[in-house]
C-alpha cells in the first residue's frame, strides 16, 4: 500500500474536524494580531512585527545579540523578512547589526538602549490590547476555548458529555 502523497509512512492527514479547528485557531490568531498591530501603530507608531523583534531581542535569554536565523525562529518570520525588519529597526536607532564573533559571514542583531526603552513604553499597550482581544474572543463559541487557554492555561470546555454536540441525557 502506497503512502499518501506528501506523508511519511504511518503519518495520516488531518480530517475535516481537525482542519476546521485549525482554521478557528488561525482565525483567533488573525483577529488578535490585527488588534495588536492597530493598538501599537496608533499608540506608538510601532508595527507588531517590530514590537515582536524588540521583545525577542530584549529578553534576558537572548544574550547580547541574536543571529538572524534565531530571531526569525523566535518571532515566526522568514530569515529574509527578518533581515529587512532589522534593517528598519536599525534605521530608526532601535537595533543594530554586527558580524558574529568567530563567523564573519553570520550577522546578529541586538537591541539598542533606545529600542529597549521603546519596547518598554509599548508593552502596556500591547498587553492591554491582547487582553481585550482575548476577552472578545471568549464570546465566540468557536474561539472561546483557545482564548480561555491563552488567558488561563486551562480549557474552558466542559467534559465531552456536557458538550453541545453530545446527545442530550434521556429523561427517566
CATH of the domain at 142: 1.10.10.10
| Structural domain count, the chain | 1
Could you tell me the pTM of the whole model? Answer: 0.79
In a domain, 171, yes or no: no
Q: What are the grid coordinates assigned to 161, written together?
A: 458529555
Closest CA to 57 of 17, 122, 116: 116
Residue 11 lies in a domain: no
In a domain, 61, yes or no: yes
128, 39 contact by CB (below 8 A): yes
Residues 128-156 have pLDDT tens digits of 999 999 999 999 888 888 888 888 888 76
| Alpha helix positions (H), 10-112 | 16-44, 48-58, 68-75, 79-91
Q: Which three cell numbers stand for residue 31?
A: 483577529
The count of C-alpha atoms lying within 13 angstroms of the C-alpha of 143, restricted to the half-sphere facing its C-beta, is 20
Residue 125 domain boundaries: 21-152
pLDDT tens track for 36-61: 999 999 999 999 999 999 999 999 99
Amino acid at each position: 500500500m502506497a503512502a499518501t502523497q506528501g506523508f511519511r509512512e504511518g503519518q495520516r492527514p488531518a480530517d475535516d474536524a481537525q482542519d476546521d479547528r485549525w482554521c478557528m485557531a488561525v482565525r483567533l490568531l488573525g483577529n488578535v494580531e490585527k488588534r495588536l498591530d492597530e493598538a501599537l501603530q496608533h499608540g506608538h507608531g510601532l508595527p507588531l512585527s517590530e514590537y515582536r523583534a524588540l521583545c525577542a531581542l530584549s529578553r534576558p535569554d537572548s544574550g547580547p545579540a541574536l543571529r538572524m536565523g534565531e530571531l526569525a525562529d523566535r518571532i515566526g518570520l522568514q530569515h529574509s523578512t527578518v533581515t529587512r525588519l532589522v534593517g528598519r529597526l536599525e534605521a530608526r536607532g532601535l537595533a543594530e547589526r554586527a558580524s558574529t564573533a568567530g563567523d564573519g559571514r553570520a550577522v546578529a542583531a541586538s537591541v539598542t538602549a533606545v529600542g529597549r526603552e521603546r519596547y518598554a513604553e509599548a508593552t502596556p499597550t500591547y498587553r492591554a490590547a491582547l487582553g481585550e482581544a482575548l476577552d472578545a474572543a471568549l464570546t465566540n463559541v468557536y474561539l472561546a476555548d483557545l482564548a480561555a487557554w491563552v488567558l488561563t492555561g486551562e480549557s474552558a470546555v466542559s467534559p465531552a458529555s456536557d458538550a453541545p454536540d453530545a446527545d442530550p441525557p434521556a429523561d427517566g
